[in-house]
Structure 1
Amino acid sequence: MKGQVVHSPAGDAVVLDDVGQTVLLDNDVVRVWDVALRAGENHPWHLHHNPYVVLSISGSEARMDWLDGSEPRFLNEYRGGSVYRPLSPVHRLTNIGERFYQNRLVELKDLGENLPEPVDIGVGDRSVEGERPGPATADGRLPVILHPHASVWTVAVEEGDARKLDLGDRPHVIAELERDGGVAFHPGGPVTLTGPGEWFVLELSY
Structure 2
Amino acid sequence: MKGQIVHSPAGEAVVLDDVGQTVLLDNPVVRVWDVSLPAGETHPWHLHHNPYVVLSLAGSKARMDWLDGSEPRFLDEYRGGSVYRPLSPVHRLTNIGDRFYQNRLVELKDLGENLPSPADIGPGDRSVEGARPGPDRADGRRPVIDHPHVKVWTVAGGGKLDLTDRPHVIAALERDGDVSYHSGGPLTLTGPGEYFVLELTYPAQ
TM bin (shorter chain) = over 0.9
Task: Measure, in 2, the Cα distance between the counterparts of 1:115 and 1:8.
Answer: 28
Aligned to 2:177: 181
Q: Which amino acid aligns with 2:53?
A: V
Aligned to 2:49: 49
Task: Measure, in 2, the Cα distance between the counterparts of 1:96 and 1:21.
Answer: 18
Question: Identity over the aligned pairs, expressed in percent?
Answer: 84
Structure 1 residue 205: deviation in Å? 0.8
User: Is the aligned partner of 1:197 residue 2:193?
Assistant: yes
> RMSD between aligned alpha carbons?
0.5
Task: Measure, in 1, the Cα distance between the counterparts of 2:98 and 2:195.
Answer: 25
Task: Measure, in 1, the Cα distance between the counterparts of 2:190 and 2:155.
Answer: 11
Deviations 1:93-115 (A, max 9, x none): 00000000000000000000000
Aligned to 1:20: 20
Aligned to 1:63: 63
Moved more, 190-199 or 30-39: 190-199
**Structure 2 gaps, min length 5:** none
Secondary structure of the 1:70 match is coil
Deviations 1:113-158 (A, max 9, x none): 000010000100000000000000110100000000010000013x
Relative to the length of structure 2, the TM-score reads 0.98
Task: Measure, in 1, the Cα distance between the counterparts of 2:191 and 2:198.
Answer: 19
Deviations 1:59-107 (A, max 9, x none): 0000000000000000000000000000000000000000000000000
Aligned to 2:168: 172
Task: Measure, in 1, the Cα distance between the counterparts of 2:68 and 2:85.
Answer: 19
Structure 1 residue 195: deviation in Å? 4.1
Relative to the length of structure 1, the TM-score reads 0.97
Structure 1 residue 166: deviation in Å? 1.4
Count of matched residue pairs: 202
Secondary structure of the 2:117 match is coil
Q: Which amino acid aligns with 1:147?
A: H
The runs of at least 4 consecutive aligned structure 1 residues that moved more than 4 Å come to: none
